[in-house]
Amino acid sequence: MVNQLPKKRLVIWPKGSLLFNTNYSAVSLNLDEENEGNEDWDSITLAFRLLYYHFYNKRSRKISAEEWSRVAVSKMRFSPEFARIIFLTAQAILPLEGANKWTGAVDYDRDTMQNVKADLLPILAIISVIGCRTRSNGSSIVRYLRKHMERICLLLLLCHYDLSVQYISSQKYTPLLLNHLPIPAKALSQLDVLFEGTFLPSIPSSFTSTANIIPYTCSSLLYSIPELNFTKLVEIMCNSLQADMFLLDVEEKILQPIKSVRSITSTQFAEHRKISVRDWQHMELLTNMQYAGSNLRLMHAHHTISPVFHLRWLRSVAIVDCNDVGVVVLGPVQQMVVLKRVKKATVSVICPMIWVEQCEDVLLFVNCECAVMIMGEGCTGIQLAPYNVFYDGLVYELDKAKMQLKQWCENSFDKPLIINSVHSSKDRLSETTSLREKSAACWFILPTKHFYVQSTPFCETHHSSFYKTFLSSIPPKYQKEWFEVSRPLAVQSTLKQNSLSYEFNKQFLRDHMPFSNTDLSYLLRRVDRKI
């Protein structure tokens, strides 16, 4: 008797990376009184209106920064700041090959803005999920998507050129019903921007390990379904939808005593892997090769001077609920860095985008392609400075992440973007004045005399060619001040060699690398193991 292959069941989930990059719950909606609670207003309808207006007039999925800014502010009534963050995120999620990028840090002239373009598909996907304001767990976004699955699938499918030509005949949005009409196989790829999935055993077990799961694009899973029409597609998507299996956008809550400071999820691919470090009490030196290209989460740490080092490249980083902690020293991060409810901390990182929510007294040393985004109204005492970490392996990690260290004139660390609301108020002049006042109160540039280059436990070859590249990423005024301070220290260190005075040694360590006795013991053990 021939053994039959076990049946499989289809499971679909929203992509954790997209949800992580689009969690704007800290930003107020700021609806007018006549729209407050109005069922006619929702983000999905806004996305449909944008799609109809743009495609009818342009017959293309490409949209320029100039057109997007105009439509988003004048027709969709987004605040200019929020419109920028959507455009920047869309460029990061689905880059257009050869397209110029918009940093969001400065206002370009109109001609330049017309040459900066993004794909409309990720913009529509981002707008469609804005309506889900609660993102504390995976089930809330699943309920939202399941409730609006028919409209979301239609919205994404209409981004396919053939379907747009067939069904969009006016710039004014009118509800469209596809019902039992067949879906072209090529159009299914539009769903990949928001969904992915896999096949699992037909009999669900109480626990499914992510170690054996290989995620696939949503379209590749749907291709094999015969005679797929729109009604059947929506039914399959609703029945198969579940929370992200890799939990990249789920905030962990401490419900019982922590058993392990450090944990890692077992996955086939690094892009779905999550390293969590909680409430560390000694230096954390994260050098495992498995950590490279993964997603780092630092959380629930309080009152520790012990630093965290992760200098291999990462996919994304979130630092959440950390109060009065030591320095966090990071290398290149390929996508988003998020700081949420962080107080009295210092973070060094290279990344394309970073946003800050409800943070106080945080010092950021960043080499950032886009403007530092300060989200919501709960931030105070945010200090901004250029990236300050050099080690020999940095050039290799940048290469692995396919990133570059921006020159000081390209680094947007000193041009933050304050985003307080999704929508503009009627009195835009008053709102702009208020934004300037809040901006002056919540952030400032680090004075040059307080800049320093962070020490690390790793090799630093100062006569290498890449060291010159590193220096070129630091503005001249910071370089000059640092050289003037570091030269006497270097001379003093050379003269005294290993017999520095107690006070000098104590001050130097406190300013540049505050180690506790526990940290030193930990570091010595790592040195014995060759780190």
* pLDDT confidence of residue 257: 54
DSSP state of 192: G
* pLDDT confidence of residue 420: 84
Yes or no: domain 262-460 corresponds to CATH 3.30.420.40: no
- Secondary structure element (H or E) that encloses residue 150, with its range: helix 149-157
275/255 Cα distance (integer angstroms)? 19
Tens of pLDDT, residues 395-436: 999 999 999 999 999 999 998 988 888 887 655 555 555 556
Residue 398: which of 313, 309, 496, 272 has the closest Cα? 313
pLDDT above 60 for 244: yes
312/317 Cα distance (integer angstroms)? 12
279/15 Cα distance (integer angstroms)? 28
Asked if 348 and 331 count as a contact pair (C-beta separation under 8 A), the reply is no
The mean of the pLDDT values for the chain is 83
DSSP state of 3: P
Question: What are the E-state strand segments in 160-315?
Answer: 195-201, 216-217, 262-264, 274-278, 284-285, 295-304, 308-310
Q: Which two tokens stand for residue 263?
A: 């944990």
Tell me the mean pLDDT in the region 216-239: 93
Q: Which two tokens stand for residue 329?
A: 């020293």
3-state secondary structure of 463: coil
Positions of CATH 2.160.20.70 in the chain? 262-460
Q: What phi-psi label fits residue 512: left (phi over 0), alpha (psi between -120 and 50 degrees) or beta? A: alpha
Q: How many CB atoms lie within 10 A of CB 501?
A: 10
- Residue 25, CA distances (Å) to 81, 129, 134 in order: 15, 11, 7
Tens of pLDDT, residues 157-196: 999 999 999 999 999 998 888 888 889 999 999 999 999 9
Asked if 351 and 336 count as a contact pair (C-beta separation under 8 A), the reply is yes
- Bridge partners for 356 per DSSP: 339, 374
251/324 Cα distance (integer angstroms)? 20
DSSP state of 116: B
Lowest mean per-residue pLDDT among 94-108, 302-316, 488-502: 488-502
Q: How confident is the model at residue 37 (pLDDT cuts 50, 70, 90)?
A: very low
Cα-Cα end-to-end distance for the chain: 56
Tens of pLDDT, residues 124-143: 999 999 888 777 667 889 99
DSSP state of 183: P
183/234 Cα distance (integer angstroms)? 11
* pLDDT confidence of residue 52: 96
Q: Which residue has the higher pLDDT, 171 or 531?
A: 171
* pLDDT confidence of residue 429: 53
CA angle 464, 470, 474 (to 5 degrees): 145
Q: Which residue has the higher pLDDT, 437 or 395?
A: 395
Tell me the mean pLDDT in the region 245-261: 67
- Helices of type H across 348-475: 394-401, 428-442, 465-472
3-state secondary structure of 231: helix
Q: How many CB atoms lie within 10 A of CB 328?
A: 24
- Secondary structure element (H or E) that encloses residue 349, with its range: strand 336-351
* pLDDT confidence of residue 500: 38
Tens of pLDDT, residues 38-92: 444 589 999 999 999 999 999 999 999 999 999 999 999 999 989 999 999 999 9
Tell me the mean pLDDT in the region 102-129: 81
pLDDT above 90 for 510: no
- Bridge partners for 200 per DSSP: 9
Q: Which two tokens stand for residue 81?
A: 């700041």
Helix axes 394-401, 465-472, angle to 10 degrees: 70
pTM for the whole structure = 0.87
Residue 419: which of 439, 446, 437 has the closest Cα? 439
* pLDDT confidence of residue 136: 65
C-alpha torsion sign, points 309, 307, 330, 464 = negative
